[in-house]
Amino acid sequence: MITLPSIVPEGDTPEMTITGTPADNFPDDQRAQFCGSGDAKSTDYVQEFSIPTTCTNPLAIVSDYDGNVWFAQTNTGNLAKFDPDTETFTEYDNPSWPQGGRSMMWGIDYAPDGTVWYTDETYDSVWKFSTIDEKYERLSYPSEGNSLPQKLQVHGSQIIVNDFTGNKITFLDPTQSDDNVNYLSIPSPIDDSVTADFAVDENNNVWFTNWLFQQGGVLVKFDQNGYFDSVANSDEEHLPLLDFIEIYQLPPELLTPNGSVVADDGTIWLADTTTSYFFNFDPLTKVFTQYVTSDPLPSTYGNQTGVVKTPISRPYWIESDDQGRLVFNAQTANNISVMDPKSQSLVEYHIPSKNPYWGDCDPGTGLMLADCGLAQIFDFAIDGEKIWFTEWVENNIGVVDTSVPLPLEIQFESNSITLAPGETKHFNFIVSPKSQKDLLGVSLILSPTHDFLNVDLVKNSPKSFQLDFDAPRPIHTSIHASEDAISGTYKILLGAQSSDVAISKFVTVTIE
C-alpha cells in the first residue's frame, strides 16, 4: 500500500499556484512527485501515452471487447477511455465526485452489458459506469468500521470484491437497481487480518489470502457453490463459514501475498509485495514452490546515499493470459513481468518512464538524476499479446507488446540439478543473441531463492559484457548448497538483462 500526501501541519502555508487542473490538489513542491516528471517514452517493447489532463494519477485499468482501454483516475474521480487505433483519450466527468476528492481505485472490470465497475477506497463505494449512456452510478459498499473495497471481478451473474481491511469477501448482483442492492459478505476465517486479492477456479471455488503485515497468514479456499446451495436449501440466512472452507498455512517466506491467480493447471500463484518472490501452490500435493525475480536495475532505486543494501522488486498483482502465461507488475523494479510455467522462463519488461522523487535519486546537488526512480505501476490489463498498464505518478498509460521478438534467449545444459548439503556442482548455460544489433550490453542474472543456495561465476567470467549478435556466449557457474541446506526442491533464476528487458529461466535444484 502507498500513502497519499498528508495534510500540511497548521502554521505551514505551502505555495499553491492555481492552475485550474487536478494538480491543484497538491502544493507546488509535490507536483513533480505526483503529477509527472517528464514526457512519455518508448522502447522496442513498450510504448507510453501521456494523459491529456495533467495529474490524474491513473490506477485501475481494464480492456473491453473492442480493445479499448478503460482506467480510473485517483485524482479526479473520473473514468477515461483510450482508443489504441486512433491513440486518443476520452475522459468522462463524474458529476457526483466531490471537489478536490481523491481515492485509490484498485479494482476494475468490464461487464458483458457494456458497464465498467470499479472500487473506490476513500468513499467506501463500488461505482458503475455505462459506456452506452455515459452515466455514473454509485453503490455504497457495506462498511463496518474500517473497510477498503479493493480488487473487483465480474464473474458470471455476480460481482466479487475483497474488502482489504474489512476482512471479508463480498458478492453482489450487478442486475439490481441502485435502490435495491443486496450484498452478501463472507467474513474471513482469521480475525484481525487483511483479506487480499482473490481468484476463482474452474469449480467456482474462491481462493484468497488472509495475513498480518510481515507476520504471515493463510491461503483460503471457499466453496461458494456448496455454501450458496446450502443456504438456498436451509431456513438459515447464513451458515457456519468453516463448513465450506479449507485453510492452508502460508510458508514463512511469504509475507505479503497481495496478488493471486488460478493457472490453467489448477495451481494457485501468489505475488509477495514485501520481497522479490512469487509462489506456486499445488492443491493436490499441498506444496508451495518459491520463485524469484531478477534484481531491480540500479536506475530504479538510485542509491545515491547508499542506504539501499538489498533492493527488492515487490511483485504486486498477478494474472494469467490466454496462453497460460503469468503476468505481474514488479512495483519497485518498474517492470511488467511475464512468466511461462511450462518453459519455466521469465521475461521482465523495463518501463522507460521513471519519477526520481520515488527513488534515492538526488546526488547531493539538489538536482534529481534524469533516468532514476519509479513510475509506480500499480495495475495492468491483458488484451491478447498486449499488456496495458498505468503509471500512477507519471500520468501515463502504456502497453507492452509481448509479440515483439526478444534480443536473446537462454539455453540450459539441463533443467535441473541435484545437490547434497555442502556440495558444489558446475552448471553451464548459453546466452544466445537473437537481434541483429552489432553489440548488446547485458548483465547476468544469478538469483537463488534461499540463502543456503549460492551461484558464482567461474573462470573469472565478467558479470556484465557486450554480446555480439553472431557469437553465443557460454556462461560457466558453480551452484553451491551450504551445510545447513534443507532438503527439498528449489528454483534458481539464470539469465541476462539489457536496459530494456530481462530474459531468464529457472533451474530446478533438488537438495537431498
Place of cell 542509491: 303
pLDDT tens digits, one per residue of 16-42: 999 999 999 999 999 999 999 999 999
Closest CA to 412 of 426, 430, 396, 424: 430
Is-contact 503 406, C-beta < 8 A?
Answer: yes
Structural domains for the chain: 409-511 (2.60.40.10)
Is-contact 199 261, C-beta < 8 A?
Answer: yes
- Output the pLDDT for position 1: 42
The dihedral over CA atoms of 456, 459, 463, 469, expressed in degrees to the nearest 10, equals -130
- What is the three-state SS of 90-133? EEECCCCCCCCCCCCCCCEEECCCCEEEEEECCCCEEEEEECCC
pLDDT tens digits, one per residue of 258-296: 999 999 999 999 999 999 999 999 999 999 999 999 999
The pTM score is 0.95
The dihedral over CA atoms of 65, 68, 74, 78, expressed in degrees to the nearest 10, equals -90
Q: What are the angstrom distances between the C-alpha of 73 and each of 16, 76, 179, 207?
A: 22, 6, 26, 28
Scored b (16 or more CB within 10 A) or e, 287-306 reads ebbbbbbbbbbebbbbbbee
48 beta partners: 398
Place of cell 534484481: 295
Which amino acid, one-letter code, is at 14? P
Q: Which residues of the chain have pLDDT under 50?
A: 1-9
Q: Grid coordinates in use for 31?
A: 507536483
Sheet holding 205-212, edge to edge: 194-200, 205-212, 216-223, 245-249
